[in-house]
Structure 1
């Protein structure tokens, strides 16, 4: 759901089905969370990862590309004793061998899918899977306390932008994909380095029978020059783009 705090028109550019009937409004009548996020131990999806980071003490942004594989490692329970899945991420740099570098927790619930990343719990999907349906995807995340380092995640309204549509992701032509718009926010004018600006953007796509096939996340916070110094991007500025290149 798009929200622009200060006028502007430009937008800088889960892992892991049952046949169902679709009506003209775009709803998928019998779709379940499992249809678009089928967790099975041993399942994996490999992505091209484009990671945007600040360099030179925040004076510039740079994109670094890798291959990453998200693999369902084990069926476990979470802290609330709910059935969950441990996801291990493997990374390959410069044609090297795969190395495990992170772990995540996926918890399918009666009406949604929770995903824990860096100790932050997101509600990635929610029933009903229907065009225009929205929910507070970051409601479990502390975004308001004085010590919160992720205040920019406050009040994100996730929304199904399209349901059950054909989509091309990388080299894959996928017949049934849902798109989740998470945020599209611009504060200030990012094209003017003389003033403060901020961008918060998030979108994910899930394919039936596969899972997460595309993700784009961007958070930038730019501080303008002070005195004789130049402007810089604040600590915590980063972006992630995942594009599926393989799966089993």
Structure 2
């Protein structure tokens, strides 16, 4: 009888230990999608289209953005955070990257947060799991946006670079492809790299009497695509 009880207790300890370990793995793997390593940089090719209904103009710009994780520090909440230096290179203006702004980010046990232009966003939640949703604007004053993991842990090629594990986050999608306004925000994150793709469509449409269709008249259509990454 004692032997049977001992075997059952041993099995229970092993079972729950294994279960506990298996629950930790997804969260740990999820943290790597933030790509927070001091000295790491990512360069993006940026294609942007601006629509202006004031003069009915459409202007397209191409430039590059470089994000460098410059250092790690302790923030006002006593937590580890990372200083992100954001550079821009517009070859029509200068052949060099010029510092534009400083952002910051951090990981908590359940979130990856990033401060962009003094607004804090919850970019990811952990553990990373397809179909999970959260309010990406819960730490700022914007309206509720329900972010969702559209897909996770999938190989993908972005900017001609083969990536082993990518998580796609749809931040907002009004689903309106045809009518008078279109809003679509999506980001993709690669393990150990961070953000590798970003798409922003935020345009209003107006009816064109000549073509008989609603066409983009005011707003932006911007795409960030991974160009390269590495360590300084």
TM over 0.5: yes
Indicate the residue corresponding to 1:12 in structure 2: none
In structure 2, the CA distance between the partners of 1:214 and 1:188, relative to structure 1 (3 Å rule), is: closer
In structure 2, the CA distance between the partners of 1:125 and 1:65, relative to structure 1 (3 Å rule), is: same
The structure whose residues are more often helix, as a share, is 2
Indicate the residue corresponding to 1:165 in structure 2: 154
Instruction: Specify every segment of 5 or more residues in structure 2 that has no aligned partner in the other structure, as ranges.
Output: 1-20, 209-214
Instruction: Specify every segment of 5 or more residues in structure 1 that has no aligned partner in the other structure, as ranges.
Output: 1-20, 23-27, 144-153, 191-196, 226-230
Indicate the residue corresponding to 1:218 in structure 2: 201
Deviation at 1:77, TM superposition (A): 3.4
Deviation at 1:204, TM superposition (A): 1.0
In structure 2, the CA distance between the partners of 1:111 and 1:30, relative to structure 1 (3 Å rule), is: closer
Q: Is the 8 A contact 1:31 1:129 kept in 2?
A: no
Query: What is the TM-score with the length of structure 2 in the denominator?
Result: 0.76
Indicate the residue corresponding to 1:126 in structure 2: 125
Greater RCO, CA 8 A, separation 6+: 1
Pairing partner for 1:49 from 46, 49, 68: 46
Deviation at 1:90, TM superposition (A): 1.0
Indicate the residue corresponding to 1:183 in structure 2: 172
Q: Is the 8 A contact 2:31 2:126 kept in 1?
A: no
Q: Deviations over 1:166-195 (max 9, x none)?
A: 1110111112111111111145944xxxxx
Indicate the residue corresponding to 2:67 in structure 1: 70
Q: Is the 8 A contact 2:65 2:86 kept in 1?
A: yes
Q: Deviations over 1:107-146 (max 9, x none)?
A: 2111111111122211000012111111011122223xxx
Cα distance between partner residues in 1 of 2:220 and 2:126: 30
In structure 2, the CA distance between the partners of 1:127 and 1:30, relative to structure 1 (3 Å rule), is: closer
Indicate the residue corresponding to 2:228 in structure 1: 246
Q: Structure 1: which 4+ aligned runs deviate by more than 6 Å?
A: none
Indicate the residue corresponding to 1:38 in structure 2: 35
In structure 2, the CA distance between the partners of 1:155 and 1:60, relative to structure 1 (3 Å rule), is: farther
The structure whose residues are more often strand, as a share, is 2
Indicate the residue corresponding to 2:113 in structure 1: 114
**SS, match of residue 29 in structure 1:** helix
Cα distance between partner residues in 2 of 1:206 and 1:99: 25
Question: Which structure has the greater CA radius of gyration?
Answer: 2
**SS, match of residue 34 in structure 1:** helix
- Aligned residue pairs, count: 200
* Residue 74 of structure 2 corresponds to residue 92 of structure 1: no
Indicate the residue corresponding to 2:187 in structure 1: 204
